[in-house]
Structure 1
Amino acid sequence: MSCANSAAPQRRSAVGVGASASTAGASASAAAGGSCDPLRSLKPPAHMPTPGGTMPSGTAMERIVARGRLIVGVDQNTYLFGYRDSDTGQLDGLDIDLVREISRALFGRPDRVQFKAVPSAQRIGILQSGQVDLVAHSMTITCERMQQVLFSSDYLDSGQRVLVTDTSPVKTLADLAGQKVCTARGTTSLTELQRARPAVRLVTVSDWTDCLLLLQQGEVAAVSTTDNVLAGLSAQDPATRITGPRFTYEPHGIAVPKTTPELVRFINGVLANLRTSGRLRALHERWLGPYGDFYPPAPRYRD
């Protein structure tokens, strides 16, 4: 199915309240033996290079500018984050806007980007193979993923919930025991559903719009993923609703290969400037304002 266009999203009910960042960070760290903090990223540089100017010698930023474009793995099927506008044919969404800000910081203009659409299950692989410079794809920061890639500071907070039709009696995940629930392959949502008790019957797909179609056709009883993604699905079908409390806490980051930590620091500098200027808040309001507050806590850094 085609995604909605980029006009102002229709207002629906807020998506609810999630667990605290401190609780989530503590839980994740404990799970990794105290060695992991998914909310702590590399410290940005003390001084950012001039946009469109000379980048530090020998860095990923210098190579990207010399190439003339930033290559980024993105989604093209998740409304509000990374989707193809049916009117213009262009990619749009919060993740796409953040990539354009990174391009602006590198080149002095927002349009020096080559987008590569990638399914959720291939996000880490495309980074490790060197096909892209970074991935901006509504990606949850986890300790397991931090063993494979680097993440920017948290730019969006969400949690997993459930999407059902308006006529469904389901109120929480527990109400779906033994029923078919759709989620995407290669996601933290799938991992959580595999642990769910009582158990649900999993149906996995490549893209979230496939889940919405299955829900509309009555092939599944629900869709479950982070509520920021569910907000985009619900916006495309007013006959659906998000229900139940969050049962995970999921900070989101931009992913970068482990071989280019200087690029993570640069991206964190871009995000810090967006916070200071109010631009990050404005982007959240543009894309997510009608659906709840997904704005992240203040960033935490490590050397």
Structure 2
Amino acid sequence: MFKSKSSKLALILFLAMSMLLAACGKGEKASTGGSSKNALEQIKDKGKIVIGVKYDTRLFGLKNPTSGEVEGFDIDISKELAKAILGDEKKVEFKEVTSKTRIPMLNNGDIDAIVATMTISEERKKEVDFSDVYFMAGQSLLVKKGSPIKGLKDLKKGTKVLAVKGSTSAINIREKAPEATVLEYENYTEAFTALKSGQGDALTTDDAILYGMVDQDPKYQLVGGTFTEEPYGIAVKKGNKELVDAINDALKKMKESGKYDEIKNKWIKTN
């Protein structure tokens, strides 16, 4: 009799635990949205694509203080992506990112994609999926005209080189000029302001970004050519193959139609 009661009690406990685990499973599914749709389908359902762009990078992504609108090469590319995916370039929402915040914002679900002068690297491929290369840049040095610094060989002990946190440029310059002191700033605006105020001897990042600084203040110039290849890619959350394919298809059509060259020639100045 005692054994029978014990068996019944064990059975009741087992059933109760099974129901509890099932309920937890449903709750977990609900908390993550419970959607089996992929990222591309979700973007189409909400009728807009949210893209992380920079607000401080002249020629690529810069907030116009007069209009309040963010403008540049990356912005126009993003509008074309929205047009290709959703049929309307206005169906894009821009959110500001920096080199440091862009991947966390993507993986937190704050944005659907990153179009923000982001170099494709093996290390970053562990965290995000990339589109095909949409712009090829190269790292260079920016100095005030008349500076004794003419290239990497002049970055010696005591030389202060400015870079941006979370960028491949900061990593590269430490490898290329190990004796120099590297000072990192939150964004390009802060770094360029620091250079102009004499807090550093040179600023390093991709040449395309540096050209924007020269466009802003012609008292500065690029020196030493490029010493890396920086292929820019559009990043999405890992595993979103459908979205990557849609982006690559849009980029291909942009290039075939001549729209890509039109956007590039509008923004990117190399002299």
Give the alignment's TM-score, normalised by structure 1: 0.75
Does structure 1 residue 159 correspond to structure 2 residue 165?
no
Residue 269 (1) aligns with residue 229 (2): no
For residue 160 of structure 2, what is the amino acid of its counterpart?
A: K
Aligned residues: percent identity? Answer: 36
Give the whole-Å Cα distance in 2 for the aligned partners of 1:279 and 1:68. Answer: 23
1:63-122 Cα shifts (integer Å, max 9, x gaps) = 112112211111000000011112311011111111101111122111112211011111
- Residue 99 of structure 2 is matched in structure 1 by 120
The structure 2 residue matched to 1:188, chosen from 168, 174, 182, is 168
1:220 and 2:200 matched: yes
Which residue is equivalent to 1:90?
A: 69
- Equivalent pairs counted in the alignment come to 235
Deviation (angstroms), 1:259: 2.8
Q: Which runs of 5+ in 2 are unaligned?
A: 1-35
* Unaligned 5+ runs, structure 1: 1-56, 293-303
The letter of the residue matching 1:188 is T
- How many angstroms does 1:198 deviate by? 4.5
Partners in 2 of 1:182 and 1:73 — Cα distance? 24
Query: Of residues 116, 127, 136 in structure 2, which corresponds to 1:148?
Result: 127
Q: 266-275 vs 278-287, which deviates more?
A: 278-287
Q: Is the 1:209–1:233 Cα contact (8 Å) retained in structure 2?
A: no
Instruction: Give CA deviations for 1:147-192 in whole Å, capped at 9, x if unaligned.
Output: 1111111111111110000121210022121211100000100110
Q: Which amino acid in 2 is paired with 1:96?
A: I
CA distance in 1, matches of 2:238, 2:38: 13
1:58 partner SS: coil
Match of 2:57 in 1: 78
Q: Deviations along 1:219-258, whole A, 9 cap, x unmatched?
A: 1101001101111111111100000021111111100101
- Aligned residues: CA RMSD: 1.4
Q: Equivalent residue for 1:68?
A: 47
Conserved? CA contact 2:195–2:201, under 8 Å: yes
Corresponding residue to 1:107 among 78, 86, 93: 86
> What's the secondary structure of 2:265's corresponding residue?
helix
In the alignment, the residues of structure 2 paired with residue 246 and residue 75 of structure 1 have an alpha-carbon distance, to the nearest angstrom, of 22
User: Which stretches of structure 1, 4 residues or more, deviate above 3 A after TM superposition?
Assistant: none
Structure with the larger helix share: 2
Amino acid of the structure 2 residue aligned with 1:237: D
TM-score when normalising by structure 2 = 0.84
